[in-house]
Structure 1
């Protein structure tokens, strides 16, 4: 089963996550739609409020396994293993459509939210996968939003280092490092990645 770096961004760099509620909604959608849905998420939310749990309504047909993620104000990075044929395409379509409906309703907006087709790049080795998770988790630091990756609560980094109880990713399936080892691995790269971001902006100008 192949693993991909999946990336999507908003139209014209439109801010698609305005506050904690929006980020939390997307994380819920990412988690809920990993399996082929029996219920729409909005219907599931109603059931959840009456103590009907997710395990009683989820499908046993998985689309993807989530390895890592990072939500940014205008874009999303995901590291996904494709479980079923066309699983990533179907998963992303459902997740992004669901979020668009929610967001447009919330702010009284109409029309598409995301730019074109979702981009994906095949991960070709375990080493590449490990370095990719670090790149994804350092996005908020590189962008200058936070000083430390653990300060950004909308990525899987805090889950990786044991600061988050909510389990979205199945990292144990792919990695056997300790939380302390991974934290050191990421922190060793912070200054270098930040400098790369500075150079990138100079070149683009």
Structure 2
């Protein structure tokens, strides 16, 4: 079993996963909305969200775990130290994904794992990576050939930067990293490169 990076309060992470085998875990528009509703219920209380993209067979989220004083309001704490255990944070995310799996399996009369494995996580440690990750996540549907233009994919946070939708996105923080909304748009019109 691989050692997983713990999710720690205040830190930034790229959270992602892929469907099991050749399955898709979003088959219609309602599935995307059900997944986002679960995300808002379970994850928004413990994370600031900077970007997301839901694809038919995988997803990406860019989050920051909230500070401990906010986590304590939502998560169980260690009785002796009155602190939140990082395993509790991971469990909350896993619970969100498991809850979606159960509803998906019920809806489509299937059994078994929906996701390939436990969700993956990569720390985001630099400003440059912050900007590149937001761009990468939003560009995913274009890169994978689902749409020709980034704004045509309705299951990402990109369009919410130009509207009042997805109120859980920390738009002001993201725009600050890009400099302004015009530069945000300019960067997203360019091809992604490392």
What is the TM-score of this pair, normalised by structure 2? 0.78
Q: Are the structure 2 counterparts of residues 68 and 170 from structure 1 closer, same or farther at C-alpha, using a change threshold of 3 Å?
A: same
Equivalent residue number for residue 169 of structure 2: 169
Give the match's secondary structure for 1:15.
coil
Equivalent residue number for residue 77 of structure 1: 60
Conserved 8 A contact 2:94-2:118:
no
Q: In the alignment, which of 182, 185, 192 is matched to residue 184 of structure 2?
A: 182
Which digits, 9 at most, give the CA deviation of each residue in 1:122-175, with x for residues without a partner?
111112101100000000000000011110010001112x14523131132354
- What is the Cα deviation at residue 91 of structure 1? 3.0
Give the match's secondary structure for 2:21.
helix
Conserved 8 A contact 2:20-2:115:
yes
Equivalent residue number for residue 116 of structure 2: 115
Q: Are the structure 2 counterparts of residues 129 and 117 from structure 1 closer, same or farther at C-alpha, using a change threshold of 3 Å?
A: same
Task: Give 5+ residue unaligned stretches, structure 1.
Answer: 36-61, 197-205
Conserved 8 A contact 1:5-1:121:
yes
- What is the Cα deviation at residue 3 of structure 1? 0.3
- What is the Cα deviation at residue 178 of structure 1? 3.1
Give the match's secondary structure for 1:104.
helix
Conserved 8 A contact 1:158-1:164:
no
What is the TM-score of this pair, normalised by structure 1? 0.74
Q: CA RMSD in A?
A: 1.9
Q: Are the structure 2 counterparts of residues 188 and 174 from structure 1 closer, same or farther at C-alpha, using a change threshold of 3 Å?
A: closer
Conserved 8 A contact 2:175-2:184:
no
Task: Give 5+ residue unaligned stretches, structure 2.
Answer: 1-9, 72-84
For 2:22 and 2:47, the matched residues in 1 are separated by 27
For 1:151 and 1:112, the matched residues in 2 are separated by 30
Equivalent residue number for residue 24 of structure 1: 33
Give the match's secondary structure for 1:13.
coil
Give the match's secondary structure for 1:80.
strand
Q: How many residues align?
A: 165
